[in-house]
Amino acid sequence: MPSVSTLTKPPIENRTGLFDYISPTRLNTWLSCPLKFKIRYVDGIKEPTSPSLFLGKRVHHGLAFFYRHLQDGQIFSADEVSNRVLEAWDDAARNERIQFDSSDHETALKHKAVGLVQTYLDRRDPGEGLPIAVESPLECPLINPDTGQDLGIGLFGFVDLVLKSPTGLVIVDFKTAARSGGLLDIAHEIQLSCYAYAFRHLYGETEHELQIRSLIKTKTPKIEIHRYPARDESHFRRMFAVIGAYLEDLRSNRFVYRPGWTCSMCNFRDTHCRAWQG
């Protein structure tokens, strides 16, 4: 199977320009608020990693550790994976300069991370299939399937997990959430379509389904699996329409603020956003 290592482009960390690549993260940020996109990717102002986001990263780290070893035929217990999460915690917190409210707050987050990892692994279906990709980069050119036009810019992203299940290939994205509930397909459509598009280009196969596996941070951790069908032509038409509008904004340097419910979670709302005058 092809891999990104065979590509001749420089490493992604050396490609930070707006037109170096398109990613699901950049697209989702722009869709939520073009001004926030400008602040982050044009002005280069980084948001601090919140303790909640840090928790999610540590859980992802633990699951990636489990699946990478499973890929090599090694099976680690939930306790062993949890210990790995705790062992890496302090170094990761220092590297990301996390500010916890107190030592009790940090301890509670550690317990929550362990609880999520253990709940997930205890309930994991051993018949789900074997991993063929774990936190793997996906990169490919963007060629409009309707017109054949090469947009001249690549699509890049990391896929959390790809499983070879008994029914076919499954693309999995892990998310941590504060509460349970159904996830609307449309809310994650662009991200899932990007994964499917790049996956098909690199692996030459069509996914059987896409999944978002939500690890719910309630007092008693919950795991919810949301299943979505393989992408069809309409998904990719919509994806390319969004990408076209995104590139128009970039070329015109037009980034208008987009007020909405996501403002409550934005670190720029009372500073850079308030100062924006159009």
| Full-model pTM | 0.90
Q: Residue 155: enclosing H or E segment and its boundaries?
A: strand 150-165
Of the candidates 18, 40, 49, 59, the residue with the CA atom closest to the CA atom of residue 252:
18
Contact 96, 55 (CB under 8 A): no
What pLDDT does 6 receive?
Answer: 34
Domain presence at residue 92 = no
The pLDDT, as a whole number, for residue 186 is: 86
Is 231 inside a domain boundary?
yes
**Which residues of the chain fall short of a pLDDT of 70?**
1-16
Which pLDDT score, from 0 to 100, does residue 182 have?
75
For residue 234, what are the contacts with CB-CB under 8 A and spacing of at least 6? none
Name the residue range of residue 202's domain: 16-23+127-250
User: Does residue 133 lie within any of the structural domains?
Assistant: yes
> Residue 242: which of 206, 201, 202, 193 has the closest Cα?
193
- The phi and psi torsions of 144 (rounded to 5 degrees) equal -60, 120
Tell me the C-alpha distance between 192 and 230, whole Å.
9
How far apart CA 275 and CA 262 sit, in angstroms, is 18
CA atoms lying within 13 Å on the CB side of residue 38:
17
CA separation for the pair 38, 255 (Å, rounded): 6
Burial class (CB in 10 A: 0-12, 13-18, 19+), 182: exposed
Which residues have a Cβ under 8 Å from the Cβ of 248 and sit 6 or more positions away? 254
Count: domains in the chain: 1
Q: If DSSP codes are grouped into helix, strand and coil, which group holds residue 212?
A: strand
- Is there a domain that residue 177 lies in? yes
Distance CA 137, CA 133 (A): 9
Phi, psi for residue 92 in degrees, rounded to 5: -65, -40
Backbone φ and ψ for 170, nearest 5 degrees, come out as -120, 125
Does a structural domain hold residue 216? yes
CA-closest candidate to residue 207, choices 168, 254, 255: 168
Q: What is the pLDDT of residue 14?
A: 53
Residue 182 within a domain: yes
Phi-psi region of 150 (alpha: psi -120 to 50; beta: other; left: phi over 0): beta
Residue 159 within any structural domain of the chain: yes
Taking alpha carbons only, the member of 160, 122, 131, 128 closest to residue 69 is 131
